C-alpha cells in the first residue's frame, strides 16, 4: 500500500515535524496545536483507514499524510526530505489486550525502526512511553534511568513500553536529542474514539449524562476507602505544551515522567465532573472486575523533579480546572481540539 496524501503546497523553508499516531488522542491534539501556529510543515503518520478517528484532524492543516505501514519505506526513498523533529506517539494502547505479538510488532519493533531511522538521519526524537511501566508502583514512580530495569509492568502493554525503554538505554547510537515520555493518566478532547480505553473523565461524563449517576470501583484494600484510589491525571493540553517545549528547548536527553506530580482521588474526579455539568453527585459503587482486580493500581503519582529541573516552568492544570474546560468546551458541545 502506498498512499501519500498531499494537502497543501509544501514550503520547504518551514520547520518539518513528523507525528506518528496523528489520528489518535494525543497525536491529533499535538497536530492541531502545531497547525494553529501556522509555521510548521506537518507530516502525519497513522492508519487512515480508521474513519472513526478522522474527525480528530478535521481542522488540522497538514502537508503530507502517510500510512503507518508505509512510513519507514517512504523515509528510506525520500532521504532528501528533511525532518526537523519526529514525535512517535503511535502505539497499541489497549491494556486489556494480551496478544504479545501485537505489542511486539506495533510498540516494540516499529519503535526500534523509528529510533534507527532518527539515528541515521540525525532527527531529534520524542516518543511515548507510559506510566504503565511502573506496574503496581512497588518500586516507586522515579524516572531515574537506573530504576527502569527494576520495574514490573502488570500487562503486555506496559511490558512493551518498558522493553523499548530498556532497549533505548542500551543503544550506542542515538538521535541528537531524544525524550521518552512516561504519560500518566491523560484526559481531554479528541478521545471520543477510544471506547473502553478513554479516560475516566470521559466515561463519568457519559454515565452522568445517560443515567444521572456514575459508577466507581469499590476498594478491595483496607488501606483505601471506596473512591479514594488515587491517580495522577494530566490534561492533554499540558502534555502538548511539554512536548512542544522539549522540541524547542533541546534539554538533556532521557526518559521523563509526564504527569502533574499531584495525585487525585476518583471521588474528587467524579465530583468535579458533576460540578462542571451542574448536576447532583450520585455515585454507584461497584466491585473491580475479577479479571483486573489483582492488576489494579491504587496509587500513581509522577515524580516530576527531572523535567522541572531541566527548565520546564509552566504550571500544570489542576484536575478541577481541566475537567471544567474539558466538559464545558468539548464534551457538552461535542467539539474537537
At 251-261, the pLDDT tens digits run 999 999 999 99
Residue 178's pLDDT band, with cuts at 50, 70 and 90, is: very high
List, in order, residues 6 or more apart from 101 with CB less than 8 Å away: none
What mean pLDDT do residues 164-179 have? Answer: 96
For residue 90, pLDDT beyond 70: yes
- The whole-number pLDDT of residue 9 equals 47
With 0-12 / 13-18 / 19 or more C-beta atoms within 10 angstroms meaning exposed / middle / buried, residue 122 is: exposed
- The whole-number pLDDT of residue 97 equals 67
Whole-angstrom distance, CA of residue 288 vs CA of residue 303 = 27
The 10 Å Cβ neighbour count of residue 82 is: 13
- The whole-number pLDDT of residue 173 equals 95
CA distances from residue 231 to 1, 145, 283, 287 in whole angstroms, order as listed: 41, 23, 18, 18
Average pLDDT, the chain: 92
CATH code for the domain defined by 4-187+233-261+301-316: 3.40.50.720
Burial 192-210, CB ≥16 within 10 A → b, else e: bbbeeebbbbbbbbebbee
- The whole-number pLDDT of residue 52 equals 85
What mean pLDDT do residues 67-78 have? Answer: 93
For residue 168, pLDDT beyond 90: yes
Residue 106's pLDDT band, with cuts at 50, 70 and 90, is: confident
Strands (E), 167-229: 178-183, 185-187, 214-217
From 3-17, 200-214, 262-276, 307-321, the region with the lowest mean pLDDT: 3-17
* Residue 189: φ, ψ to 5°: -60, 155
Where in the chain are the domains? 4-187+233-261+301-316
Whole-angstrom distance, CA of residue 227 vs CA of residue 11 = 52
The 10 Å Cβ neighbour count of residue 137 is: 16
Residue 57's pLDDT band, with cuts at 50, 70 and 90, is: very high
287 DSSP assignment: P
Per residue in 291-304, pLDDT (tens digit) is 778 778 889 999 99
Strands (E), the chain: 4-6, 15-20, 40-46, 64-67, 85-88, 125-130, 178-183, 185-187, 214-217, 230-231, 233-235, 254-258, 264-265, 283-286
Catalytic residues: 157, 194
- The whole-number pLDDT of residue 12 equals 54
Amino acid at each position: 500500500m502506498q498512499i501519500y496524501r498531499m494537502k497543501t503546497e509544501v514550503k520547504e523553508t518551514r520547520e518539518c515535524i513528523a507525528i506518528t499516531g496523528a489520528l489518535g488522542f494525543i497525536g491529533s491534539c499535538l497536530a492541531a496545536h502545531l497547525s494553529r501556529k501556522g509555521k510548521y510543515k506537518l507530516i502525519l503518520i497513522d492508519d487512515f483507514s480508521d474513519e472513526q478517528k478522522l474527525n480528530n484532524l478535521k481542522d488540522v492543516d497538514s502537508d503530507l499524510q502517510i500510512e503507518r505501514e508505509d512510513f519507514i519505506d517512504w523515509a528510506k526513498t525520500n532521504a532528501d526530505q528533511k525532518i526537523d523533529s519526529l514525535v512517535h506517539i503511535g502505539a497499541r494502547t489497549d491494556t486489556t489486550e494480551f496478544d504479545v505479538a501485537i505489542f511486539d510488532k506495533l510498540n516494540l519493533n516499529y519503535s526500534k525502526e523509528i529510533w534507527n531511522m532518527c539515528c541515521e538521519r540525525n532527527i531529534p526524537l520524542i516518543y511515548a512511553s507510559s506510566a504503565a511501566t511502573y506496574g503496581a508502583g512497588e518500586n516507586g514512580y522515579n524516572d531515574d534511568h537506573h530504576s527502569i530495569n527494576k520495574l514490573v509492568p502488570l500487562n503486555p502493554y506496559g511490558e512493551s513500553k518498558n522493553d523499548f525503554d530498556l532497549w533505548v538505554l542500551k543503544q550506542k547510537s542515538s538521535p541528537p536529542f531524544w525524550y521518552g515520555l512516561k504519560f500518566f493518566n491523560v484526559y481531554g478532547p479528541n478521545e471520543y474514539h477510544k471506547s473502553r480505553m478513554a479516560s475516566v473523565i470521559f466515561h463519568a461524563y457519559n454515565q452522568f449524562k445517560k443515567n444521572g449517576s456514575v459508577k466507581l470501583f469499590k476498594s478491595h484494600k483496607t488501606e483505601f476507602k471506596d473512591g479514594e484510589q488515587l491517580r495522577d491525571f494530566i490534561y492533554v493540553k499540558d502534555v502538548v505544551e511539554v512536548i512542544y517545549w522539549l522540541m524547542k528547548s533541546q534539554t538533556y536527553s532521557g526518559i521523563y515522567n509526564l504527569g502533574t506530580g499531584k495525585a487525585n482521588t476518583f471521588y474528587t474526579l467524579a465530583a468535579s465532573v458533576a460540578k462542571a455539568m451542574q448536576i447532583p453527585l450520585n455515585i454507584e459503587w461497584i466491585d473491580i472486575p475479577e479479571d483486573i482486580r489483582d492488576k489494579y493500581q491504587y496509587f500513581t503519582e509522577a515524580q516530576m523533579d527531572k523535567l522541572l529541573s531541566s527548565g520546564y516552568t509552566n504550571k500544570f492544570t489542576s484536575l478541577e480546572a481541566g475537567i471544567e474546560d474539558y466538559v464545558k468546551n468539548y464534551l457538552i458541545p461535542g467539539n474537537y481540539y
